Every structure is written in structure tokens, then in C-alpha cells.
Structure 1
């Protein structure tokens, strides 16, 4: 697929996806929204891509909705049209969570509004020391809860801290984000690219099925009704993983102290 506002580079089983509107701080316009939905919505368990690394071109990760573009064409929309537009944006986050591939985000500079949601919908977040994230919606005359942010944030940092930022629209600076566990590591863009590659390499040492089922189980466990429910899911996943040739290869590689050679499914 040809993209206008995304740059997609495939390195083996890793897809590097760069939001590429640097002159607009990678703000989301209808074309970029459609391209993000198209990319993440097309990922399947049998896709050759096994890990996705998401980043922004230039000095920002993503400034959220392109308000200039919206003001020129979207502000006059009626309820039905606005609801359709709203669904198009939120569908990106749903697609990111539903795709079997782990998503690593490198958050550089600002991640506001929808850009904050993109970071939160990722499985792992790395951030530059100048990164700052906020739910800017409430500062624009909207509710502070939008496109999945009010789902993700309390589960990551707790209800009180989430309320602090959703009710005010304040920025979460990089050091606070690290202290809260919202990001895994801080560094320069170069250091974070190296770390993202290392994370992807480690993930690729897992079997394709094992990696996919781990992401799936982590997502379900957050909302599971009990410890027993989570353990039942884990039991199912482990038994499923033992049934293919990859499990035998993983055990053999571990015992022989070599890199495993897994199949593609």
C-alpha cells in the first residue's frame, strides 16, 4: 500500500511506522487517520510483520487532531457526520489493541490528544527526555475523556493520577511519566531506536504464536473478573503453544544454547 502521511519501512519481521507530517507536528488529518486504520487493521496473525515500532518524524510524536484542517472542513459537520469522524479516530486505537503484533512507540516531543492516545494504545512506550504528553481535549471545549484515553490511563497510573491529568489537560513531563511507569525508558532518539531494535529482537526470539498469545492475554487480564479467570486463559495458551513444532524447537534451542529457528505461523 502506498501512503501519503505514513512512512513504512520493513526490516525483516519488524515494521517501522513513522508518522510523517513533520511540518504539522504529525497532527492527524483525515488522510493520516485512514492510513493508520488501514495499516493496523490489515495486520493479522499470519502477517509477515511480527513487531511494529511507531514513531513521529521531526520534533514531535503527534500533536493530536489537526485543528486547522478540522476548522476548515469539520467544524460544520452535523451529529451523524461528527460521530462517523469520531469513530474513525477511535478505530485506530482499537485496531492497535486488536492486532496480534506488539506495538512499541518511541515518543519524541509532544504527544497530545489523539497522539497521547496512540502512545497509550501501544504495548510499550519509550520516550525522549523532552517528551511531554497530555489529554488536551478538555482544553478545547471537549470532555477530557476521548478515543480510549480514559480506559488506558487509569489502568496504567491509577485513578487519582489519571483524574489529575484528564480533568486539567496538564502535560505529563518525561521524568514524571517514567516515575509513574507510563514509559519504560528515557533517552535520546538514537538511544531509543537502539532500545526499540533490542526489544524487537528479544520479541522475535519468542515463537510467533507465543508472542501473539502473550499480547492477547495481557490485554484480557487487565479486565479479567478473577485470578482464576486469568489462570484459565494462561492454561489454555500454554497448552496451545505446546502443540506445534515451534515448542520443540524452542526447547531444543534453549538446551543447545543457540538462536531458535521458528516457522512463520
Structure 2
């Protein structure tokens, strides 16, 4: 008998993206999303925002993808919203349309945080504005020494409160450092980002993408159901008190213990073998 929930899943190995590049490794476990407008340092458009949000939402039904790498083409991550394709039209919009736009951009972050796959941002060169937000919204961030990360909103007369920055960034780098970056709009160097905990590691430019994909593969080959639970708990526990945290994690861990992965890992340990995680 067909499992109706499993029937809702589909492979993404042959997924065709329209406004960026999407590819997976041979078995589909690691997907790489590449922002691919290198002539303009990979800016975002109305269409790419919408497609990114839709893609991260649909990855919840992926039968193959277990981790995602997000990067940019040709030595830059992303310069943020395209000046002429996004910024200029926004200056002519009325409030209801502006709110629809800011909700659409925020939805990308919401779906990045909600999708079960851990996301690794591989950052090189310019990582600015909404590009910095995408890196911030990832679960892990690695960069090159040339990476320059700037939350530029104040430079164009806007608040630093964009796409969740005032809530998420302080949890990564601390309140004081986040305030400095969001008020001044200055670029955070790669060395600062590493020291402050924004970046998990730095790698030279030629090896960046390979290192990101290698790390993503270690995540994908691990207990991916349990990794998805860890990601969910990391998000949900922001707004919990200690009693709620302990109870939520008790329930989460009991669910993971009920999977075959837990039993398989024990048997593999006892046999001095490597466990195979299947997520069921």
C-alpha cells in the first residue's frame, strides 16, 4: 500500500531553476544554488526572490536533497537587490505594494529557516544588503578572506530592520556588534566575521565551493532526520523559556529515538561499523 506522505515527496535532482542555477551531486543529496548574474555581482530581482522562496518551501518535500549550498558566481556572493530592477521601481510604489514586496523578501528568510535541510552559505567577495541577509539566514557560513559583508540598508535611508536582521544577526554576532553593523552599514571583513562567529571558517578562493560542498556532504550523510530536528529546535527555542526548552527537546529527542537511525547507529557502534542513516 502506498504511503500517502511519502507519495508527496519528489526528487529534485533534475529540478530546473529559472533565475539562478540549481544542481545536485550524483545521488541528489547535496544541492547547490548559485546566484548567477556575475556581471552585476549577482544581484537579486523580484523574480529571483519569489523563486528562492518557492524553492526553499518545496524542499520540505524533497526525497533526495539533505543539505544545500548557497553561493554566488565569479568571485562574489551577492550585491543585494538590483538597483535598477528593484530599487528604482520601489521608489515609485505606494505603501500596499511596498509592504507586499517586503513581505515577499522576508518570506525567503522564513522558508530558509523552515526548510529541513541545513544550508551552507559559501561567501566570496561582495556580500551586501539582501545578499548579507541570505548569508545570515543560512545555518553555516564559510567565506574567503576577500569576503566583505555589509548590511547596507541605512546607507539608502532605510532601517537595519530588514528580513529579520534585527532578530537574527544579534544571535549570531552579539547585540553590540549587530547594532554597529546595522546602524553604520559598514563592511564586516572576513577576519572580523570569523572572530565574531558569523563565519564558521575561511578558505582560499579556489577551494571555497569544494569545501562548502564537502562540509554539506558530511551533514547529508549524517542522521539527516535528526539534523532537521536540530534545525527546528534551534529556531523554535528562541522564543521559549527554560521549562519550555527542556520539554521541547525531550519530545524532539524521543521522536529521534523512535527512528530506525537510532537503533542502526547503536548496532553499528556495537559491531564497530559505520552506521547508515535512512531517516525512518
- Partner-residue secondary structure (3-state), 1:8: strand
Show the counterpart of 1:163. Answer: 179
Give the 3-state SS of the residue equivalent to 2:134 in structure 1.
Answer: helix
Distance in structure 2 (CA, Å) of the matches to 1:35 and 1:206: 28
Residue 25, structure 1, aligned to residue 41, structure 2? yes
55-64 or 38-47: which moved more? Answer: 38-47
Which residue does the alignment assign to 1:10? 24
In the alignment, the residues of structure 1 paired with residue 135 and residue 121 of structure 2 have an alpha-carbon distance, to the nearest angstrom, of: 6
Deviations 1:142-185 (A, max 9, x none): 11221111111111111111111111111100001111011010
The one of 234, 242, 248 equivalent to 1:233 is: 248
CA distance in 1, matches of 2:46, 2:157: 21
1:219 and 2:235 matched: yes
Structure 2: runs of 5 or more not aligned: 1-14
Q: Which deviates more, 192-201 or 45-54?
A: 192-201
For residue 12 of structure 2, what is the aligned residue in structure 1? Answer: none
1:38 matched to 2:67? The reply is no
Q: Between 147-156 and 201-210, report the one with greater CA deviation.
A: 201-210
Residues 5 and 21 in structure 1, CA contact (< 8 A), matched pair in contact too? no
- List aligned pairs for 1:63-142, cutoff 5 A: 63-142=79-158
List per-residue Cα deviations over 1:22-69 (Å, max 9, x = no partner): 112111111211221121111116532110010001121011111111
Matching residue of 1:263 = 278
C-alpha separation in 2, matches of 1:76 and 1:230:
45
Structure 1 counterpart of 2:73? 57
How far did residue 71 of structure 1 move?
Answer: 4.6
Match of 2:225 in 1: 209
Gaps of 5+ in 1: none
Q: Which runs of 4+ in 1 moved over 6 A?
A: none
Query: Are 1:144 and 2:160 counterparts?
Result: yes
What residue in structure 1 maps to residue 8 of structure 2?
none
Q: SS at 1:43's partner residue?
A: helix
TM-score, scaled relative to structure 1:
0.93
Q: CA deviation at 1:76?
A: 1.1
SS of 1:89's equivalent in the other structure is helix
- Computed over aligned residues only, the root mean square deviation of the Cα atoms, in angstroms, reads 1.7
Aligned residue pair count: 264
Instruction: State the shift of 1:197 in Å.
Output: 2.9
Partner of residue 269, structure 2: 254
The whole-number CA distance in structure 2 between the counterparts of 1:71 and 1:184 is: 32
